[in-house]
Structure 1
Amino acid sequence: MSGNPFNSTFPPWMCGFKHLEYLDLSSTDLKGNIPSAIGNLSSLNTLRLSNSHLEGKLPNSLGSLCKLRELILYNNTLSGAVSEIFRRFRRCNIVALKKLDLSYNQLSGQLTDSLGKLSSLQKFYFPTIG
């Protein structure tokens, strides 16, 4: 679905696919917050929501996506502390994550020791923090 102009908020029905493994809504012009129902996508191993107009903090339910290998969220206006993002994944000890891109957002704070627990991480794109 990448590149299709939704020009709306995140479609709630999209969070009902419990067996979905790959979701790419990059460059779809999505607006608003990432819904907490995203945590229902428990089989997801790739989540790409880059190049849109998503804003606000990442939902706590993101920590329920224990099978994630790629989390690509660059070029939005997501906010909050970077340490909170890593704290969300404590729930399932997400060690399978291989690629994480948080660049070009409005994140704040410092990296914590939690990053070291992502032992499979191969690519990490980090925002400039002011």
Structure 2
Amino acid sequence: MKKLKNILLVEDDLATNFLHKMLLNELKLVDSINIAENGQEALDYINSCASEDLPELILLDINMPYMDGFEFLENYKDLPAERKTGVIVMMLTTSNNPKDLNKANDFKPTIKGLIEKPLTEEKVKEIWAHYFKD
């Protein structure tokens, strides 16, 4: 499987970040994992990155304080194309709320899919098989 240079986890729960980061590190699929605890931190991170350091994968939580995943996506779509080219955005959720699922559909093709938390080795391998083939 292809090794990524950078992943951005956008999640406010510290335990979830710890577990997801540990899993990704164990799978040795990424060089760098950055964490933003809300959508605004994620936008700030993306805007401050050098082009070569932009994340290739964003794992985005829906429910966060300050700026949630949907608000992030509203602002993300307005970023310059060079900040988004080649970036895969996957939304993470614990919610089976039909309202959230329908709202997520409004953001396709920006988001490529919805993944139920927590990440597992199987879920990560599915993402890689679909989007990051060698």
Question: TM-score by structure 1 length?
Answer: 0.37
Higher relative contact order by CA 8 Å / sep ≥ 6: 1 or 2?
A: 2
Question: TM-score by structure 2 length?
Answer: 0.36
Quick check: which one's helix share is greater? Answer: 2
